[in-house]
């Protein structure tokens, strides 16, 4: 190819005249027929309002300067949310004042741009961050700006997350409004009456009700409807740990976690969802939540409802609607959502033809589907008693061995076992007798844990449950059953556990770089499932939970300390102390089993917590605390040097124990009594800590105080007196009573006419005290050699 014909870059197609955008094409007939009543020329016509004009920015784009300003707002608020709001010492300025001024300036800039900012990819997260710091009045104004546009905003990629966050935080404001707590609203003649947030939510529901069936299948509108249903019916979350697992997917929750903590930037408690906020909800919310259920019932057929269960987008919403049905008491009706998904089981129960109900392939598919199994768990948990018995007979009886080892169906089976009656419980133990080792080897311990929990709730059939545990881990003889805790923590049957422990530990290659070493999973690493099994067994009645206690007692102290140092297995030791069914004698023997090894136990991040729990449980009157403390006197230096052990040593106060055992016992009794009173007291906003007795200050450390620097006439500051040791404090308190400290200045009596002279009085009392002590030493009786009886020769003057 000739050199002049070779060119760099991409080939360009022939340039054609650009066609005008769709929103600029004018309808000629519309232009010709336009009326000019307002005095404008006929050719000046605004573009028709087309829905597909700007799908990503339906309300316009945000100006570049405004977007840059809100980036600054985002950075400032994020830095405030990541730090704790603690006022500096000696600073009387309200730390909230600066933040309020900055926040109000951002709200002023946001005015009349809410829809544009919500649909912007960069500014939507800024709105989410600001929602947590809004007060009740600003939230009402913010939602009022969105009225009439919810149908568009709910289906928007970025605005949907803003609405989801707003509905999540609005529960606190609605709770206060239901109790009659309203903010002061400024009067304005230009604007109309501002509706309450409760009324705004009801109006929003009426706006979204006609398109509800399409919104639950929309990828962006689905999670907004979940947040709205949760606001109307808080019990519809279906999870014990909160509603985040229902509202957000793992991907969405991971993205939100990268945004840092989202909370209020003020220290008034706003933005934190409280448990009491869901207890005071308006009665109108129940009626609206029933309307959403009725819309799906009336507008969708049975096959369409079943199709929602298999959808990853609509299945969580359908799960929450089933919860709403159960809470409102309309689930036990023919044609309900629960009846549609269960293929007519409730209808068959009402027609008394449940005995001949045929199993459905659709329900068997839900049982093994990764998405729909969550819905089936809800159906099993909330179904009526007669419908549950039909589900048990039709889909689970005779199939428990296969379902318990299935990677998905075992979760539904565990929910079924949690609700089983006594006859079904015994039937489960009999059917799974030969399948337990296979279930444990496949790490599917959920059914076994549910079986133990159900037996603990019924307080029956503990022997059958204990035998099932022994069969699961292949523990037949009495000696083998002592290895229950080691086998259960690593979730291995006895044969595999012994084969692993009998092998020598692999030696590490010294020539291999530590950065190139691959992490190999230890088969003896404690697993969460095994720890949960042992914790559930400790809740069984007394004759049956002793299997775990005796197994722990048979462990060598080194292995028991290893369990206490692991973050997973240490929970088992905590459950042993906290379980109300474990005898007190067994708990005390467990605490005393660490005698002589507490310094090793508490020299760890996790082990120190176990040591604190043991110390708090130890009873002073049975001398358990004294035995523990005396065993650690020789390790006082090692505890003080330990990073974690020093905190445990502070509770022991070994110096006071060595000098004054009686005062040490009294101090421990006072601490225990104060802890009991504090735990039983009502939870108030300002709860003061119990004051320490005088022996505490005299025993180990002096009361913390801030030295006062007084200026002399020449303007120089006095030198601070050196702090005296513990022995000098004890000498002053023993001989002449407790010394007056400078910390009394902080607690000055307002009725004192001259509180400023207390420091001088304290200094004079110290001088008088010193002279009295020296006089007492001079007056002490002497022996025949002229020495004092304490062995020190009197100095010549």
In three-state secondary structure terms, 363 is: helix
Task: At 296, list the tokens.
Answer: 């799906």
| End-to-end CA separation in angstroms for the chain | 118
> Residue 454: pLDDT above 80?
yes
Across 327-341, 470-484, 620-634, least confident range = 620-634
> Residue 187: pLDDT above 80?
no
Question: How does pLDDT run across 285-308, given as a tens digit for each residue?
Answer: 999 999 999 999 999 999 999 999
DSSP secondary structure, 151-185, as one string: HHHTTSTTHHHHHHHHHHHHHHHHHHHHTT-----
What does each C-alpha distance from 648 to 168, 222, 555, 641, 706 come to in angstroms?
Answer: 41, 51, 24, 12, 26
Question: What would the mean pLDDT of 137-154 be, rounded to a whole number?
Answer: 92
Question: 384 or 272: whose pLDDT is higher?
Answer: 384
What does each C-alpha distance from 172 to 135, 163, 278, 409, 761 come to in angstroms?
Answer: 10, 15, 8, 38, 53
pLDDT range class, residue 699, cuts 50, 70, 90: very low
pTM higher than the cut 0.75 = no
> Long-range contact list for 353-362, CB < 8 A, 24+ apart?
354/386, 354/387, 354/389, 354/390, 357/390, 357/394, 358/394, 359/394, 359/395, 362/306
pLDDT range class, residue 778, cuts 50, 70, 90: low
pLDDT range class, residue 43, cuts 50, 70, 90: very low
Closest CA to 551 of 499, 487, 461: 487
Closest CA to 26 of 48, 58, 53, 59: 48
Whole-angstrom distance, CA of residue 403 vs CA of residue 432: 11
Task: Give backbone dihedrals phi and psi of 328, rounded to 5 degrees, phi first.
Answer: -85, -5
In three-state secondary structure terms, 793 is: strand
The count of other CB atoms within 10 Å of the CB of residue 631 is 16
Whole-angstrom distance, CA of residue 725 vs CA of residue 778: 23
pLDDT range class, residue 180, cuts 50, 70, 90: confident
> Residue 179: pLDDT above 50?
yes
Question: What would the mean pLDDT of 29-34 be, rounded to a whole number?
Answer: 40
pLDDT range class, residue 637, cuts 50, 70, 90: confident
Percent of the chain at pLDDT > 90 equals 46
What Rg do the C-alpha atoms of the chain give, in angstroms? 36
State the chain's mean pLDDT as an integer: 77
Tokens 């006197």, located at residue: 633
At residue 681, the pLDDT reads: 63
The three-point CA angle 192-197-198 to 5° equals 115
Whole-angstrom distance, CA of residue 34 vs CA of residue 45: 8
Question: 655 or 456: whose pLDDT is higher?
Answer: 456
Question: How does pLDDT run across 76-118, given as a tens digit for each residue?
Answer: 888 888 875 444 444 555 667 888 888 899 999 999 899 999 9
At residue 268, the pLDDT reads: 56
Across 176-185, 548-557, 736-745, least confident range = 736-745
Across 83-97, 220-234, 562-576, 736-750, least confident range = 736-750
> Residue 267: pLDDT above 90?
no
pLDDT range class, residue 353, cuts 50, 70, 90: low
For the chain, the structural domain boundaries read 64-83+95-184+191-256+280-296, 725-742+757-771
Question: What would the mean pLDDT of 22-29 be, rounded to a whole number?
Answer: 40
Helices (H), ranges, 351-399: 361-368, 373-382, 385-391
At residue 93, the pLDDT reads: 54
At residue 31, the pLDDT reads: 36
Task: At 310, list the tokens.
Answer: 């298999």
At residue 622, the pLDDT reads: 58
Whole-angstrom distance, CA of residue 250 vs CA of residue 244: 10
At residue 783, the pLDDT reads: 45
> Residue 682: pLDDT above 80?
no
> Residue 479: pLDDT above 60?
yes
Count of helices and strands (H, E) across the chain = 45, 0
Closest CA to 313 of 245, 218, 225: 218
Instruction: Find out whether 529 and 440 touch, Cβ atoms under 8 Å.
Output: no
Question: How does pLDDT run across 362-394, given as a tens digit for each residue?
Answer: 999 999 999 999 999 999 999 999 999 999 999
Instruction: Find out whether 216 and 195 touch, Cβ atoms under 8 Å.
Output: no
* Residue 782 bridge partners (DSSP): 788
At residue 7, the pLDDT reads: 47
Strands (E), 626-680: none
Task: At 381, list the tokens.
Answer: 């948990």
> Residue 190: pLDDT above 80?
no
At residue 232, the pLDDT reads: 92
Whole-angstrom distance, CA of residue 387 vs CA of residue 419: 12
* Residue 793 bridge partners (DSSP): 787
In three-state secondary structure terms, 711 is: strand
Whole-angstrom distance, CA of residue 207 vs CA of residue 292: 12
**135 Rama sector, left if φ>0, alpha if ψ -120 to 50, beta otherwise:** beta
Instruction: Find out whether 495 and 505 touch, Cβ atoms under 8 Å.
Output: no
Question: How does pLDDT run across 200-232, given as a tens digit for each residue?
Answer: 999 999 999 999 999 999 999 999 999 999 999
At residue 608, the pLDDT reads: 93
Across 105-109, 350-354, 398-402, least confident range = 350-354
Question: What would the mean pLDDT of 224-246 be, rounded to a whole number?
Answer: 72
> Residue 759: pLDDT above 50?
no
Question: What would the mean pLDDT of 564-578 be, rounded to a whole number?
Answer: 95
Whole-angstrom distance, CA of residue 640 vs CA of residue 633: 11
Question: What would the mean pLDDT of 591-619 be, rounded to a whole number?
Answer: 91
Greatest C-alpha distance within the chain? 133
Whole-angstrom distance, CA of residue 114 vs CA of residue 489: 54
Across 97-106, 571-580, 688-697, 761-770, least confident range = 688-697
């Amino acid at each position: 190819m000739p050199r002049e014909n070779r060119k760099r870059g991409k080939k360009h197609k022939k340039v054609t005249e650009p066609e005008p955008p769709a929103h600029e094409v004018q309808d000629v007939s519309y232009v010709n027929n336009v009326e000019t009543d307002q005095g404008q020329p006929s050719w000046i016509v605004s573009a028709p309002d087309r829905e597909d004009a700007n799908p990503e920015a339906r309300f316009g784009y945000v100006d570049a300067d405004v977007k840059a300003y809100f980036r600054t707002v985002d950075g400032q608020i994020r830095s405030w949310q990541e730090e704790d709001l603690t006022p500096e010492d000696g600073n009387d300025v309200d730390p909230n004042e600066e933040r309020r001024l900055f926040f109000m300036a951002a709200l002023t800039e946001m005015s009349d741009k809410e829809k544009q900012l919500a649909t912007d990819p960069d500014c939507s997260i800024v709105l989410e961050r600001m929602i947590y710091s809004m007060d009740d009045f600003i939230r009402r104004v913010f939602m009022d700006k969105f009225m009439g546009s919810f149908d568009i905003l709910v289906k928007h990629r970025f605005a949907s997350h803003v609405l989801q966050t707003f509905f999540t935080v609005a529960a606190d404001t609605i709770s206060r409004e239901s109790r009659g707590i309203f903010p002061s609203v400024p009067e304005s003649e230009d604007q109309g009456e501002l509706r309450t947030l409760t009324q705004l939510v009801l109006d929003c529901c009426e706006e979204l009700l006609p398109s509800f069936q399409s919104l639950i299948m929309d990828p962006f509108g689905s999670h907004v409807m979940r947040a709205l249903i949760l606001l109307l019916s808080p019990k519809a979350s279906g999870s014990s740990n909160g509603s985040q697992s229902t509202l957000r997917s793992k991907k969405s929750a991971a993205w939100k976690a990268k945004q840092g903590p989202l909370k209020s930037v003020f220290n008034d408690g706003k933005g934190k969802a409280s448990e009491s906020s869901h207890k005071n909800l308006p009665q109108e919310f129940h009626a609206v939540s029933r309307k959403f259920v009725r819309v799906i019932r009336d507008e969708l057929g049975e096959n369409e409802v079943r199709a929602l269960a298999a959808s990853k987008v609509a299945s969580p919403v359908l799960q929450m609607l089933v919860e709403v049905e159960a809470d409102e008491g309309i689930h036990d009706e023919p044609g309900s959502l629960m009846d549609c998904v269960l293929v007519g089981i409730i209808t068959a129960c009402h027609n008394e033809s449940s005995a001949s109900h045929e199993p459905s392939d659709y329900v068997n598919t839900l049982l093994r589907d990764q998405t729909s199994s969550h819905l089936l768990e809800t159906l099993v948990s909330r179904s009526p008693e007669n419908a549950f018995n039909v589900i048990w007979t039709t889909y689970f009886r005779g199939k428990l061995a296969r379902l318990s080892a299935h990677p998905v169906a075992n979760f539904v089976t565990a929910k079924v076992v949690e609700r089983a009656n006594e006859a079904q419980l015994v039937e489960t133990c009999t059917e799974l007798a030969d399948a337990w080792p296979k279930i444990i080897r496949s790490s599917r311990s959920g059914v076994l844990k549910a079986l133990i929990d159900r037996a603990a709730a019924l307080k029956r059939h503990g022997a059958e449950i204990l035998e099932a545990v022994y069969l699961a881990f292949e523990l037949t003889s009495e000696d083998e059953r002592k290895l229950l805790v080691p086998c259960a923590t690593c979730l291995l049957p006895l044969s595999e556990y012994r084969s692993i422990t009998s092998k020598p530990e692999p030696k590490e290659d010294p020539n291999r770089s530590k950065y190139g070493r691959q992490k190999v999973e230890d088969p003896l690493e404690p697993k969460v499932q095994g720890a949960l099994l042992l914790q559930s067994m400790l809740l069984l009645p007394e004759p049956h939970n002793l299997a775990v206690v005796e197994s722990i007692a048979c462990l060598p102290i080194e292995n028991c300390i290893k369990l206490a140092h692991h973050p997973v297995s240490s929970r088992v030791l905590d459950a042993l102390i906290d379980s109300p069914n474990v005898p007190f004698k067994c708990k005390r023997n467990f605490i005393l089993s660490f005698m002589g090894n507490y310094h090793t136990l508490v020299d760890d991040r996790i082990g120190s917590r176990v040591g604190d729990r043991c110390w708090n449980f130890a009873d002073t009157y049975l001398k358990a605390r004294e035995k523990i403390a005396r065993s650690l006197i020789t390790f006082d230096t090692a505890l003080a040097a330990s990073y974690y052990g020093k905190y445990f040593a502070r509770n022991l106060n070994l110096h006071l124990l060595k000098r004054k055992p009686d005062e040490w016992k009294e101090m421990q009794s006072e601490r225990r009594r104060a802890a009991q009173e504090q735990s039983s007291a009502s939870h108030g906003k300002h709860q003061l800590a119990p004051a320490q007795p005088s022996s505490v200050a005299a025993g180990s450390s002096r009361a913390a105080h801030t030295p006062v620097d007084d200026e002399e006439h020449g303007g120089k500051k006095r030198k601070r007196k050196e702090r005296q040791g513990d022995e000098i404090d004890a000498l002053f308190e023993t001989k002449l009573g407790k010394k007056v400290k400078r910390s009394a200045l902080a607690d000055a009596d307002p009725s004192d006419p001259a509180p400023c002279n207390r420091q001088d009085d304290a200094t004079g009392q110290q001088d008088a005290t010193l002279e009295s002590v020296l006089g007492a030493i001079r007056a002490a009786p002497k022996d025949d050699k002229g020495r004092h009886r304490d062995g020190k020769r009197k100095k010549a003057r």
